[in-house]
Amino acid sequence: MTPDHVILAGQFGSPYSLKMRAVLRYRRIPFRWVLRDSKWDTIPDVPVRIIPVIVLPEGADDAARVMVDSSPQIMRLEDVYKGRSIVPPEPAVAFIDALIEDFADEWLTKPMYHYRWAYEADIDKAGKLLPLSSDLQMGAEEAARSYDFITNRQIGRRPLVGSTEANQSIIEDSYKRVLDTLSTSFDRGDFLLGDRPGRGDFGLYGQLSQLAGWDPTPMSIASERAPKVVNWVHRLDDLSWLEVPGEADATNGWSGTGDLGSVGDLLVEIGRTYAPFMVANAQALQAGSGEVVCEIDGQEYRQGAFKYQGKCLGWLREGYEALSQADRISVDGILSGTGCEQLFA
């Protein structure tokens, strides 16, 4: 069957799936959501079995019609579909946006995974709910088997993303600071980089859809500490209603490079956590060492080296190198004093 629209195969408990669903809705790209691994899932095979999967319509010009990994999916959709872009036209602003997106995808996912698989109530909810996406008619015995399978597997994977007792306060404190800095941003405006959402907004939304909207422990922290963030998450889920000016419009809705004050604190958080981690991870990969050890917030942080995150930093560095000299000077000015400089040193 050849779809004449995009297919997005994902699940409700998957931050990256909801991120991509929000992007498609906001961009008004016709798509069909398919519950991955359910009886309705007949999408073609993918080389790496992760979610979400995007299947582009026939005629979308090459072999890579079936894709995983949300950031490349976003950029592919930008190529194929015009209008309501989520990439700011000014290269320096677009660069900062891409950095925020990567922070959300590669760092904020640590609190997301950690809270879900470290706390009793969260484990229990996830163990009961996640398996039902594949089969609502699942019987009690199979549900119990699936509960054991998924909770054991996911808890066993905690160290892979750094969710250990030793790292616990680093990860949890970072989540709380993200809630605080976003609350302050929403005192001033609706989105991070102007009057319209960018890649960074959607990256944050993906992880926060779970943290602030699904998993009991981080959800209660969010409603206590950051009600504006909870409301923002509800908004981001479907922004198809939001009218935005066209790209060619001089008042296109995006902040300029001189006007990024509202993300200053977030960049400091990125420089405090994600930056030392990503740099140490790249060094560990290069040295062929299995372990990342770095200092975050004056404490030692350890986890296994992660190949995909090495690639992510490589892409960011390529983006940095590709900036014109004038744009690089603007980016350097924005990042100066945030701790993010070390990513491109």
Ligand X SMILES: N[C@@H](CCC(=O)N[C@@H](CS)C(=O)NCC(=O)O)C(=O)O
Site residues, ligand X (CB under 6 A): 14-16, 50-51, 69-71, 105
**Residue 107 CB contacts under 8 Å (≥ 6 apart), including other chains:** 174, 270, 273, 274, 277
Closest separation in Å from C-beta 210 to ligand X: 9
Q: Does residue 321 sit in helix, strand or coil? A: helix
Closest separation in Å from C-beta 304 to ligand X: 15
C-alpha 46/C-alpha 120 separation (Å) is 33
8: which strand partners? 33, 54
- The residue among 104 and 244 lying less far from ligand X, judged by its C-beta, is 104
- The residue among 21 and 196 lying less far from ligand X, judged by its C-beta, is 21
Give me 62's structure tokens. 């090459």
Closest separation in Å from C-beta 273 to ligand X: 18
- The residue among 14 and 181 lying less far from ligand X, judged by its C-beta, is 14
Closest listed residue to residue 273, CA positions, set 102, 126, 43: 102
Q: Would you say 40 and 54 are in contact if contact means Cβ atoms under 8 Å apart? A: no
Q: Cα–Cα–Cα angle for 119, 120, 124, nearest 5°?
A: 115
- The residue among 14 and 151 lying less far from ligand X, judged by its C-beta, is 14
- The residue among 20 and 244 lying less far from ligand X, judged by its C-beta, is 20
- The residue among 135 and 173 lying less far from ligand X, judged by its C-beta, is 135
Closest separation in Å from C-beta 10 to ligand X: 8
Closest separation in Å from C-beta 308 to ligand X: 6
Q: Does residue 281 sit in helix, strand or coil? A: helix
- The residue among 130 and 219 lying less far from ligand X, judged by its C-beta, is 130
Exposed/middle/buried for residue 41 (C-beta within 10 Å: 0-12, 13-18, 19+): middle
C-alpha 118/C-alpha 334 separation (Å) is 36
C-alpha 327/C-alpha 332 separation (Å) is 9
Counting every residue written for the chain, the total comes to 345
How many CB atoms lie under 10 A from the CB of residue 345?
5
Give me 263's structure tokens. 């993300």
128 alpha-carbon distance from chain centroid: 24
Closest separation in Å from C-beta 130 to ligand X: 10
Closest separation in Å from C-beta 292 to ligand X: 18
C-alpha 211/C-alpha 204 separation (Å) is 10
Q: Would you say 112 and 207 are in contact if contact means Cβ atoms under 8 Å apart? A: yes
Closest separation in Å from C-beta 167 to ligand X: 19
299: which strand partners? 296
Closest separation in Å from C-beta 134 to ligand X: 13
- The residue among 160 and 329 lying less far from ligand X, judged by its C-beta, is 160
C-alpha 29/C-alpha 303 separation (Å) is 39
Strand order of the β-sheet with 66-68 is 31-35, 6-10, 53-55, 66-68
- The residue among 312 and 331 lying less far from ligand X, judged by its C-beta, is 312
